[in-house]
Amino acid sequence: MRRHLAVAIVLVVAVLVACGDSGDDARSATTSTTTSTSATSAPRTIDPRSPSLHVVTYNQLHGIPCEQETDFCRAPDRMEILGRHLEAAGCPDLVGLQEVHPRQDELVADLAERVCGGQYEVAAEPVESPDRSIVLSARPIVAQGKLDLAAFPWDAQWVRIDTRLGPVDFLTAHFASSSNDPTCTPGVCPPEMCPSDVTANQCHARQVIDFLNRRPGPPAALAVVAGDLNATEDEPTLERLRSDGFRDAWELADQPPCNPGTEAGCTGASDDPPGELLGLDTEEGFRFAERIDYVLIRAAPAIDPGQVSAAPFAGDPLEEPVGGLYWASDHVGVQARVDFTRR
């Protein structure tokens, strides 16, 4: 969500078959309902070089706004909920997570070892930050790296995987929210890239484009930017990414725009409900009122992205809570499937 609380220190049936099972409530007419089975399923069979990709982005909530005695809003229970959502979604190939707090590092590593049969590799840089972006990959990673974005602690994590049609670059990022989105100055943003009439959030789009365009090795057949971009589709940040060829998987899949009245198509909560657990312990959860989480794809000229499907991820409460919690986060994630071919 666009947090007004400062950071301390400063994804229609075809779509659902492709991306998960459907729930029935109004707010998430295309969301997946997760049962309370344990996160220990055997992994699906993966062709490591298949040009069919299933990706997820999810802001999994660092827990900083939670009361201190709640252990970052019961971080271990929330990680268990995330594991159940991953298995309910069919163990996606690439998962981008944002807002990973140091308290969650060991929890993520443990989750990767046991969820989906232990098929995930964790890509994360060892940096001290309360809000990191990391990648879980079920495909062999051939290269990886971190991008520091303007105005700490915002960042991005990049991985490259190989497919039969060429490499795929996957970058997950957390762009600046209203809690820390200063206007650019030379001390905040790279001046050669971001002039003083743009904000840090707008600068982040420029930084990500530049980073991906400068990756060494053969050009990517497909580039994917997935994350909490803290901007709606009509804002300059998304316009900048579209101008460089990135296309919104949600729109390509003909999914509806965010409807704050029903909450369908929305991913970010307007505000966290009151209470020491921020509403994570209620079936009602949050009021999702804007779409700020995205999977964006850019295909090389010789590549046809084909039919793209998209659906919400973790958009419904658990049928049975874990440790009293129905939700892992105050965001609805996005999942997308791309079956790309050569033109």
Who's near 161: CB < 8 A, 6+ residues apart? 94, 137, 139, 140, 141, 142, 167, 168, 170
pLDDT at 43: 58
Give ∠ CA 75-79-84 in degrees, rounded to 5.
Answer: 150
Sign, Cα dihedral of 126, 113, 283, 314: positive
**CATH number at 13-34+50-342:** 3.60.10.10
Measuring CA to CA, which residue among 243, 239, 222, 223 is closest to residue 231?
239
Return the bridge partners of 134, or none: 97
Tens of pLDDT, residues 234-279: 999 999 999 999 999 999 999 999 999 999 999 998 776 668 899 9
Element (H, E) at 207: helix 200-213
pLDDT at 68: 85
pLDDT at 67: 86
Tens of pLDDT, residues 105-122: 999 999 999 999 999 999
Asked if 332 and 292 touch (Cβ cutoff 8 Å), the reply is: no
Asked if 58 and 81 touch (Cβ cutoff 8 Å), the reply is: no
End-to-end CA distance of the chain: 39
Digitized pLDDT (tens) for each residue of the chain, 343 residues in all: 444 333 343 333 343 334 544 344 445 544 443 443 444 455 567 788 999 999 999 999 999 989 889 999 999 999 999 999 999 999 999 999 999 999 999 999 999 999 999 999 999 988 889 999 999 999 999 999 999 999 999 999 999 999 999 999 999 999 999 999 999 999 999 999 999 999 999 999 999 999 999 999 999 999 999 999 999 999 999 999 999 999 999 999 999 999 999 999 999 987 766 688 999 999 999 999 999 999 999 999 999 999 899 999 999 999 999 999 999 999 999 999 999 999 9
DSSP per residue over 242-288, as a string? Answer: HHTT-EEHHHHTTPPPP-TTT-TT--EESSPPSSTTTTTTSSS---E
Rounded distance, CA 254 to CA 309, Å?
8
**Buried residues in 201-235 as b, exposed as e (16+ CB within 10 A):** bbbbbbbbbebbeebeeeebbbbbbbbbbbbebee
pLDDT at 272: 64
pLDDT at 33: 38
Task: Specify the 3-state DSSP secondary structure of 227.
Answer: strand
Alpha helix positions (H), 49-157: 71-88, 102-114
Report cis status (omega within 30 of 0) of the bond before 153.
yes
